[in-house]
Amino acid sequence: MTSEQMEQRIQVLEREIKTLKGEIQKTLIEIQKNLPEKSAAARWQKKAWMLALVNMLIAIVLFSNVYLYLPGSLPAEMHGTLAIFLRAFWIALAFVW
């Protein structure tokens, strides 16, 4: 390659680089315009706290009613089948939780 051809090739490459830089800047500006104002953490923070509160309430209800787990310790007299069903349901609910 001659020096003139090399210089022409360099000029072509420099123009291509400038064009690519411009396109990249335009793309970055478009991305910045499309991004939401708030970050994802700020948008989900309230929902996360509500989910944590619901989780804590379920834990309190499940474990404060421990008498439902123990045989023969129901607060009111119930039919035997209903007591077994209620105990099984409560234990299954605790495992699922």
d(CA 17, CA 15) in angstroms, rounded, equals: 5
Q: Structure pTM? A: 0.42
Give 45-86 pLDDT, tens digit per residue: 888 889 999 988 988 887 777 766 666 666 666 677 777 787
Q: Produce one character per residue of 11-21: b if its CB has 16 or more CB atoms within 10 Å, e if not.
A: eeeeeeeeeee
- Spell out the residues 6+ positions from residue 75 whose beta carbon is closer than 8 angstroms to its own: 67
